[in-house]
Amino acid sequence: MAKTDRLDAYALAKMAALVQLRSYQPLEPWHQEMSDFVRARRQAMHPLTVARQQQEMVGNRGLRRLLQANITYLQRVARLPQSAQMSTIATRPRSGD
């Protein structure tokens, strides 16, 4: 059976009839900001992990020093989202407010 827009529409209509869909609720601004910070930190941590693993495998002392400089830089980068995240946590609404 060939895939067509008509079949897609039928499948979507059938699914909508069976599943009670909730309307989209955008995140609160503080929650969206927190998600952005978590994503940025995760993205900053990956190269840091790779650099640490590379340094463990290198025997040359000069190259290890270069890799350590890279690790130090990446550690600073990884802390930036964390410090901004703390200010977001401080300004978010408290439960019961």
What pLDDT digit, counting tens, does each position of 17-46 carry? Answer: 898 878 889 988 888 888 888 888 888 889
Angle between the N-to-C axes of helices 29-57 and 61-91, in degrees from 0 to 180, rounded to the nearest 10: 170
Q: Which pLDDT score, from 0 to 100, does residue 44 have? A: 83
DSSP-derived letter for residue 79 is H
Global pTM reads 0.52
Per-residue b/e over 39-70, b at no fewer than 16 CB within 10 Å? ebbeebeeebeebeeebeeeeeeeeeeebeeb
CA distances from 62 to 9, 29, 59, 65, 74 (A): 62, 47, 9, 5, 19
